[in-house]
Structure 1
């Protein structure tokens, strides 16, 4: 997390989706999750923490604590969180200059157009930082 301390290798930021009550596994370093690739790291989730005010399309975000730390490789690297004042392009990329700006919230699943709505990561920084400190 940059200047705020050592980066976490066992925390993943995610949109909750419909996986409540099911075990969750994270696949890192994948180009195609339908094929087994040597760059992939498959790690079960230890704890999934939804935003306390979660509702589909509002506060649609959760943190995943992995059962073990990810190994940093050419295919798996850390993303910095934006500072509170940083602004991403509205409707722009999910990641810009290696900084997580947004996560997909909802939109078309199939088709050739990108997802319609991203949740802005900087809005959730206070909750993310509090939650990570408590883990």
Structure 2
């Protein structure tokens, strides 16, 4: 809040009024509640892609994951050259379950700011 107050003290009343009008115009489309819904839809769409072939898996390999579960979760880095043991539908399921647990915490109540960056392929 201090940073906001500092910035606010450096703008003219006319600039502040214009910024307020712009914020009011953008809020319905880009406010936290709407951004969170878009982020949730995007998350679900990408999780569906990971689990799109339940019989054979999709070939996604996740570093630190095997068929039993997640052995290391730091950022859930993926790597395309994982061992065959790590590239199973069971490992994909383990990653999806872990992501769901974390996303439930992050999206709980749609409160706060939501930042969604560019989507990057985790690897195949």
Instruction: Please give the TM-score of this superposition, normalised by the length of structure 2.
Output: 0.22
The structure richer in strand per residue is: 1
The structure richer in helix per residue is: 2
Higher relative contact order (CA 8 A, sep 6+): 2
Greater CA radius of gyration, 1 or 2? 2
Instruction: Please give the TM-score of this superposition, normalised by the length of structure 1.
Output: 0.21
